[in-house]
Structure formats: C-alpha cells, structure tokens
C-alpha cells in the first residue's frame, strides 16, 4: 500500500478517533468536532454533501477551508485521484456532458464511479458500493422489462437475454461506446477522468474465474445444476457465483469497465432518484436491439410442440406439405405447415420434408414463446401511481417440460 496512515498507527497514543470522513451524504462536515487537528490523513469524502449545508458560522468555515488548504499530501502518495482533482479534469467534464448526465449528479461522484477497487481498496473511495446498488437496479429493471413484455420466455432464454443487456460483456461494450479510457497504472496523480484499475498482466491467471461452489445443499454428490435450482442458487444470469477477488488484485478491463457502468447507475439513483434512473436505463439499455428469436436452440422441437398442444388443450399438431418443387432434382424445396385443427401454427421451408417440418415446428414454438402482450404496466412504474391504473401482468404457466 502506498498510502501512509500515520493517524492509524499513532492512534494508540491519542484520544479516541472520531468519525472523520462523513459517511452519510446528509451529514454535515464534522471536522470541528475532532479534539486534535488531523490534517494529514484527511481525504475529503468524494460524494459528501456536507458542503451543501451552510456552515454554522462564518469564522469556523474560514478556519476549515484554511485547514483544508494546509493539507499538502502529495497526490502520488494516494492510490486514486483525490476528489478535489475531479473539478479540474477536462476529461470528466466532457464525459459528464457526453453522456448527458443530469446536472444533479456531481462530477466528484462520476470520478468516484471510475475508481475500481483494484486501484483503491478503500471502500470510501472506490466504486464498489455504488456498483452493487447499480447492479441490483440494472438487474431489476431488465428482468421486469423482459418478464412483463415476454411473459412466456423460457428461463434459459431469459437468463441469456438478461446477460445480453446487463452482463459483463454488454456493460464493458457500453463503457467502450461511451468513450471510457483507462489508465496504464492507477495513482493519485493521474487524470480522474480515466478508468482507474490495476490491469491484469497478459496471460496471467485470474482468481475470479474459480467458482466458489454451487451453493446447493447436495453439492458433494455432483448432481447437475437444474434450471429451477439456477433461479434460487445462481446469479441473475444463471451462472455459478464466483469467488470475490481480493480488493487490490489486478483485474481484466471488462470487469473494471462493468463496475463503472453499474456504479454510474447506482450514483444516478442516489443523487437523482428513480425517475431519472429509469430514463437513463430506457435511453441507454432499452434502446439497444436484441433479436430474441435468434437466441433459441431447440433439441426436439416437434416433441415440444406436441406436448405444448396437449398441455394447452389444442388439437394435436399435424404437419402438412403446402408446396414443393424439384423433388427429383439436386436441390428440392419443400414448404411444410404445422396445423392444429384448422389453425396454422407455423410454416417452414427446407431441402427435405423432415427439415421443413422441424423448421415449421420451431417457428410455431417461437411464436408461442415470444408472445408480447399489448398493455404492460411495469411494477417499478407503478410506484407512486394511482392504484386504479395498475393492470396486472400476464404470468404464464412456463415452458414446456419434455
């Protein structure tokens, strides 16, 4: 660790240490409560809103500001840029404007969101807490959007869609598209507009790839992880929960970039509230295109379809040849439709009758699973809404179990 904590080492000789960095954003600065002047360990909290409140009296504030100026700790000694440097960074101001972030989001918080815990293990100065909040918000908004708009989506596709919107790869890609640049090596003297993280050396093994176990009660028996248990035991993408790496361990760029995007979401929620956060989510996430119909991979589509028809009480599915050409030629084409009674469920074309039949069954299944209700009220939109306007969403029976 680069930072020297004289205060901590010397604390046994001093009076009990008072709370020096304000932890709660709404707490006024407490510098004057300290029995001893403690200039050297002072790094003013980045997201502190204490300065918003007018000081109790003018003399005290003048004394405080002088004391703050007296703090002359070289920036190279800090693990990440001090919050005061944020106001001078052209990169940060440009990033704030480029993302059209609300003016209520302070530039110091944006700077803090850019500090990954591998650069600064101190939780008061890195983005871990903001990223946890942001991750939960992103997970909530994405999953409720997917579940309400596609109520029949199978669980495995739901997991994959969730990961396509807010997974590590997607968030790292977004950070890249936002023009986030990263430091070569973190430190207090570098521009706070850069993503601060300790980068993993090329080819080095990374500890986080090690899963920390399935978390299931019968883990030692080596049973497979079923879909339903993934909902309970695994993370929001249906993947096994990984070990948390040591705070100062080097990480790949993807992980650091992902933590920035999540922290930005969390910071927006804390500073600007739910409505602004939802707007940010709609403009940056929901505007992205994802073709859900290309994410399905059926193993036995015809069996699935007949089971589905039996479950829903439709007449049994029957495949019929609609048209064909060149049966005796080198490339014949058959068009097959799948019918339930008089209703055509799907249609597919293929080089053989069997291929066309399977394609038709896949099409029928996709059109069932990708059903989209017209009127959707998201639960998070219903907060603060009149109860009469709430319309319950469709909850489906679930995918076909074969």
Strand, coil or helix: 9: helix
- Compare residues 218 and 287 and give the one whose CB is closer to another protein: 287
Q: Taking CB under 8 A as the criterion, which residues in 83-112 touch another protein?
A: 90-91, 93-94, 96-100
With CB under 8 A as the contact rule, the residue among 3, 17, 152, 284 that binds another protein is 284
Q: Beta strand pairing status for 317-325 and 343-350? A: unpaired
Q: How many residues bind another protein (CB under 8 A)?
A: 58
The DSSP secondary structure of 155-168, one letter per residue, reads: HHHHHHHHHHHHSH
Of 38-67, binders to another protein (CB under 8 A) are: none
395 is a contact residue toward another protein (CB under 8 A): no
Of 21-29, 195-203, 211-219, 393-401, the segment contacting another protein by CB under 8 A is 393-401
Among 140, 253, 270, 295, binds another protein (CB under 8 A): 295
Binding-site member from 289, 384, 386, 388 for another protein (CB under 8 A): 289
Sheet arrangement for strand 317-325: 317-325, 333-340, 343-350
Q: Which of 24, 174, 184, 178 is nearest to 92 (CA)?
A: 178
Give the per-residue contact string, 188-217, with another protein (x = CB under 8 A; - = no): -----x------------------------
Residue closer to another protein, measured from CB, 20 or 150 = 150
CA distance 121 to 135: 19
Sign of the alpha-carbon dihedral angle for 289, 294, 295, 301: positive
The stretch among 252-260, 291-299, 311-319, 379-387 that binds another protein (CB under 8 A) is: 291-299
299 binds another protein (CB under 8 A): yes
Burial class (CB in 10 A: 0-12, 13-18, 19+), 74: exposed
Q: Where are the alpha helices (DSSP H) in 101-127?
A: 107-113
Among 145, 150, 285, 368, binds another protein (CB under 8 A): 285
State how far the Cα of 196 lies from the Cα of 181, in Å rounded to an integer. Answer: 9
Task: For residue 339, list its beta bridge partners.
Answer: 318, 344
CB closer to another protein, 6 vs 402: 402
Interface with another protein includes 370 (CB under 8 A)?
Answer: no
Which 152-191 positions form the footprint of another protein (CB under 8 A)?
Answer: 154, 156-157, 159-161, 163-165, 167, 169-170, 173-174, 176-179
The partner residues of 287 in beta bridges, in order of sequence, read: none
Among 150, 217, 213, smallest CA distance to 394 is for 150
> Of the candidates 283, 310, 321, 354, which one interacts with another protein according to CB under 8 A?
283
Q: In the complex, what is the shortest distance from the CB of residue 256 to another protein, in angstroms, rounded to a whole number? A: 18
Q: Which is nearer to another protein, 94 or 310 (CB)?
A: 94
Which x/- pattern over 322-361 shows residues binding another protein (rule: CB under 8 A)? xx-x-------x-x-------------x------------
CB-nearer residue toward another protein: 21 or 96 = 96
Dihedral Cα 307, 310, 314, 315, nearest 10 deg: 100
The dihedral through the CA atoms of 341, 399, 378, 286 has a sign that is: negative
> What SS3 class is residue 198?
coil
Report the residue number, 117 or 399, with the smaller CB distance to another protein: 399
Spatial distance between the Cα atoms of 320 and 360, rounded to a whole number of angstroms: 10
Taking CB atoms within 8 Å and a gap of at least 24, the contacts of 218-221 are none
Q: Minimal distance in Å, beta carbon 295 to another protein?
A: 5
C-beta closer to another protein: residue 165 or 269: 165
**Separation of alpha carbons 163 and 142, rounded Å:** 10
- Binding string, residues 219-258; x marks residues near another protein by CB under 8 A: --------x-------------------------------
Nearest CA to 156 among 222, 230, 256, 82? 230
Residues that bind another protein (CB under 8 A): 90-91, 93-94, 96-100, 154, 156-157, 159-161, 163-165, 167, 169-170, 173-174, 176-179, 193, 227, 282-291, 294-300, 303-304, 322-323, 325, 333, 335, 349, 399-402
């Amino acid at each position: 660790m680069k930072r020297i904590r004289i205060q901590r080492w010397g604390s046994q000789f001093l009076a009990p240490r008072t709370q020096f960095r304000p932890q709660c954003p709404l707490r006024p600065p407490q510098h004057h409560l300290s029995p001893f002047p403690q200039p050297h360990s002072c790094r003013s909290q980045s997201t502190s809103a204490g300065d918003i409140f007018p000081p109790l009296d003018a003399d005290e504030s003048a004394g405080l500001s002088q004391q703050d100026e007296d703090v002359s700790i070289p920036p190279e000694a800090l693990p990440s840029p001090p919050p005061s440097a944020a106001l001078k960074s052209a990169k940060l101001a440009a990033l704030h404007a480029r993302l059209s972030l609300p003016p209520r989001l302070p530039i110091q918080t944006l700077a803090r969101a850019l500090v990954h815990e591998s650069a600064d293990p101190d939780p008061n100065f890195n983005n871990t807490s903001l990223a946890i909040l942001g991750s939960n918000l992103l997970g909530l908004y994405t999953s409720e959007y997917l579940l309400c708009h596609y109520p029949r989506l199978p669980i495995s596709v739901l997991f994959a869609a969730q990961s396509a919107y807010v997974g590590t790869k997607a968030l790292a890609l977004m950070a890249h598209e936002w023009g986030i640049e990263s430091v070569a090596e973190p430190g207090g003297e570098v521009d706070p507009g850069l993503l601060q993280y300790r980068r993993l050396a090329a080819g080095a093994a990374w500890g986080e790839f090690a899963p920390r176990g399935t978390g299931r009660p019968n883990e030692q028996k080596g049973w497979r992880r079923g879909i339903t248990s993934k909902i309970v035991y695994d993370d929001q993408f249906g993947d096994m929960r990984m070990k948390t790496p040591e705070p100062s361990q080097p990480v790949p760029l993807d992980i650091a970039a992902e933590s920035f995007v999540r922290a930005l979401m969390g910071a927006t929620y804390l500073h600007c509230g739910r409505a602004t956060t939802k707007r940010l989510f709609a403009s940056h996430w929901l505007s992205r295109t994802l073709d859900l119909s290309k994410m399905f991979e059926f193993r036995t589509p015809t069996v699935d379809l007949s089971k589905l028809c039996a479950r829903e009480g439709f007449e049994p599915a029957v495949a019929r040849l609609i048209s064909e050409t060149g049966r005796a030629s080198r490339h014949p084409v058959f068009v097959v439709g799948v019918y339930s009674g008089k209703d055509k469920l799907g249609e597919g074309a293929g080089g053989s009758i069997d291929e066309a039949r399977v394609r038709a069954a896949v099409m029928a299944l996709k059109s069932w699973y990708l059903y989209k209700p017209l009127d959707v009220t998201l639960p998070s939109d219903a907060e603060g809404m009149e109860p009469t306007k709430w319309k319950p969403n469709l909850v489906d029976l679930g995918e076909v179990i074969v």
